[in-house]
Amino acid sequence: MNQIVECVPNFSEGRRQDVIDGIVGTMQEVVGVRILDVQADVDHNRCVVTMVGELEAVAEAAFRGIARAAQLIDMNHHRGAHPRMGATDVVPLVPVRGVTMADCVAAARELGRRVGEELGVPVYLYEEAATRPGRRNLADVRRGEYEGVRDAIATDPTRAPDFGPSRLGSAGAVAIGARPPLVAFNAYLNTADVEPAQAIARAVRHSSGCFRFVKALGLLVEGQAQVSMNLTDFRQTPVHRVLEAIRSEASFYGLQVTHTEIVGLLPSEALIDSARFYLQLDGFSTQQVLENRLFGEE
């Protein structure tokens, strides 16, 4: 594989296994696409598929998955705890290796055009692929969910889709975009008190004035305080820098980090970058990693 692009489409079905299998099966037929994970959630009534491959292949698989979901899922009858506006709700393209963000943005826009024109499903471009600032944030795009978008799309010009008709059918609308790899990183503290975790979350997250690419919450998980985070661009806000800030803030409360965890997958680059920091490997090149020398071979 010369490129690695991750694509994580979210479909509004978490209960009917035959529907999930049908959607995943049609995507799997595309040569060069590898399905790494399928997570279905009954309460959310939603499934999240993680697939990788070269850009063209994952975009083709996403198109087929969107087409199939539009046939199999009727949003007029969809109920679930997770916000949603379409049978295929959101499709991010994520550059991992050997491909740029600009490539993924271009592919997201081309995929959006095909979905709008060939399937007649309204498409909103979001995050790095957004065509206007107010559409970068998925929550803004999805405001009102299926029912709200159905009413607003025809009447409110600011809600007009980037591609496809200004009218919602039973497949709803889909958000298609490009974003950096997401790292779900949690740090546990040696306390059963949630308050220090909440204070530390505020101390590191962007919305409270700190690291630009960190979202954080303080939680209690099985009786232990946890700083729960999404690192939305580890290349700009690296894992080790966030952890060192958490350790420093924790010490103010006389607390320590007992352990941390990565939820799901992350690119090797994120960990190698942290190893480089802690080992003081200042002149290190990623081309010194043996596996990286094999990447791109046929």
The footprint of its own copies (CB under 8 A) covers 1, 4, 6, 34, 36, 52, 96-97, 181, 187, 239-240, 243, 257-262, 264-268, 271-272, 274-276, 278-284, 288-294, 297
Tell me, yes or no, if 82 is annotated catalytic: yes
Cross-strand pairs, 224: 221
The least CB distance from residue 292 to its own copies, in Å, is 8
User: Which residues are within 8 A (CB) of 39 and not within 5 positions of it... i.e. 6 or more apart?
Assistant: 47, 48
Closer residue to its own copies in complex, CB, 100/258:
258
The number of residues in the chain equals 298
Closer residue to its own copies in complex, CB, 82/97:
97
User: Which residues are within 8 A (CB) of 34 and not within 5 positions of it... i.e. 6 or more apart?
Assistant: 51, 52, 53
The least CB distance from residue 295 to its own copies, in Å, is 8
| Among 77, 78, 82, 259, the one annotated catalytic | 82
Closer residue to its own copies in complex, CB, 155/285:
285
The least CB distance from residue 13 to its own copies, in Å, is 24
The least CB distance from residue 44 to its own copies, in Å, is 22
Strands 4-7 and 46-53 come out as antiparallel
Q: At what angle do helices 101-114 and 55-72 cross, to 10 degrees?
A: 30
Closest CA to 214 of 241, 179, 248, 191: 241
Closer residue to its own copies in complex, CB, 81/221:
221
The least CB distance from residue 51 to its own copies, in Å, is 11
Residue with tokens 């795009």: 141
Closest CA to 98 of 243, 237, 267: 267
**48 within 8 A of 30, measured Cβ to Cβ:** no
DSSP at 136: S
Closer residue to its own copies in complex, CB, 56/74:
56
User: Which residues are within 8 A (CB) of 122 and not within 5 positions of it... i.e. 6 or more apart?
Assistant: 116, 153, 161, 163, 164, 165, 166, 167, 168, 173, 174
Which active-site residues does the annotation give?
A: 82
